[in-house]
Amino acid sequence: MQHRTIRQAAWCLAAVFSVAAVALSAAPQHVLSNYFPPRGEWQKREPANAGFDKAKLEEAVAFAIASENPNTKNLAEDIVNTFRNEAPYNTVDGPTQPRAAANGVVIRHGFVVAEWGDTARADMTFSVTKSFLSTVVGLTVADGKIKDVKDRVGPYMPEGVDLFLSPHNAPITWEHLLRQSSDWSGTLFGQSDWADRPPRGQTADQWPTREMHEPGAFYKYNDVRVNVLSLATLYVVKRPLPEILKERIMDPIGASATWHWEPYSNAFVTIDGKRMASVPGGGHHGGGMFINAWDLARFGYLFLNNGAWSGKRLVPESWIALARTPGPANPNYGFMNWFLNTPNPKTGQGPLPATPASSVTFQGNGQNIVFIDWDHDLVVVVRWIRGGTALNEFLGKVIGSIVK
């Protein structure tokens, strides 16, 4: 097994401590709002009444619309094309549907100050699904069914499940999976771990001899390993994860009845004699979370309010603190899919330099973004914005339109 050099590991560890210190010092405790939107409605405020320069906010919205992802709206076609370097594994194994045009909402002080596009359409949201998945894992920990995220996953699996039996996979913990640093090796539901974002120039037949990393030491964004987390959690809770999400999170926050979390066609297992779907943590091969902008905004607003909704604690604050803490393998990634914006100790800038260091984004291909900014009491959902610098520029325009 090959390892990174001691020098690389030491630099990364130093970066993590630096980033963690900045994150903790820069993250104010958000004062819980008195207003929580009931199901089916969300009160609006004129931008000026929420501290915005209306003209500048309208300019930000116009920029988001003008910056729409130019790719085809046929997502079945777009998925195959986007991941064409993963052939022959770039298959569509779950449902898809054509997407809407650019859309989104801006929420400040709990009220809607801007919206654009078809915000009611339940579209694929790709890797934002991971944030829903990790929240269900958090509930499982809170219930005591997973005693500690630092536990090895293997002992939680029922007899006959071989996900964590190999010498390489046996040391993997729940935290490794949550931080995308597990380096899990194998095949799940017909997809090998090689298939998701393989190293440039490496072919599928070279996969068995790929460089191996000690679990926890190396970050790699990989949906196959995310799906291993989903399946492992399903074996622990013995209930479909969408049922738990609906009961514990989505219904309490007043989400619509239009969201749905779809599995691949072959992703079913039998637990205690019942056939259950193991849902994926994204739409990399189709499936995943289909959801509208309003329900994404409610989800983001839950975390803006530290996991509480209308006086009821839904997600433990301790879990949110862990999700917002960087891991040793990537100083800008907490628990999936919490992308952190804490500055690089060398450059002094985070991945989204136009936004506060304490802000967080849930990110999905396309791009689908939930932006949470405790400094400005702000939640922004922006969907189908192009890649590159457009997201940073858009969020900078939104924040720049705040006058008080």
Q: Are 396 and 115 in contact (CB under 8 A)?
A: no
> Is residue 34 predicted with pLDDT exceeding 90?
no
Least confidently predicted of 107-116, 184-193, 253-262: 184-193
> Is residue 44 predicted with pLDDT exceeding 80?
yes
What is the average per-residue pLDDT within 300-319?
Answer: 97
How would residue 24 be classed by pLDDT, with cut points 50, 70 and 90? very low
Q: What percent of the chain is predicted at pLDDT more than 70?
A: 90
Nearest-CA neighbor of 188 among 273, 126, 278? 278
Average pLDDT, the chain: 91
How would residue 31 be classed by pLDDT, with cut points 50, 70 and 90? low
What is the average per-residue pLDDT within 84-113?
Answer: 92
Sheet-wide strand order for 260-262: 123-124, 288-291, 260-262
Nearest-CA neighbor of 20 among 326, 357, 329, 330? 326
Q: Which domains can be identified in the chain, with CATH numbers?
A: 1-404 (3.40.710.10)
Q: Are 45 and 328 in contact (CB under 8 A)?
A: no
pLDDT of residue 358: 96
pLDDT of residue 10: 39
pLDDT in tens, 130-172: 999 999 999 999 999 999 999 999 999 999 999 999 999 999 9
pLDDT in tens, 330-345: 999 999 999 999 898 8
How would residue 11 be classed by pLDDT, with cut points 50, 70 and 90? very low
Nearest-CA neighbor of 280 among 292, 271, 290, 267? 267
pLDDT in tens, 354-399: 999 999 999 999 999 999 999 999 999 999 999 999 999 999 999 9
What is the average per-residue pLDDT within 28-37?
Answer: 69
pLDDT of residue 30: 53
Length of the chain measured in residues: 404
Which comes out higher in pLDDT, residue 345 or 324?
324
> Is residue 239 predicted with pLDDT exceeding 90?
yes
pLDDT of residue 196: 73
> Is residue 8 predicted with pLDDT exceeding 70?
no
Q: Are 287 and 94 in contact (CB under 8 A)?
A: yes
Cα–Cα distance measured from residue 203 to residue 224, given in angstroms and rounded to the nearest whole number: 17
> Is residue 22 predicted with pLDDT exceeding 50?
no
How would residue 26 be classed by pLDDT, with cut points 50, 70 and 90? very low
pLDDT of residue 52: 98
How would residue 32 be classed by pLDDT, with cut points 50, 70 and 90? low
pLDDT of residue 6: 36
This prediction has a pTM of: 0.91
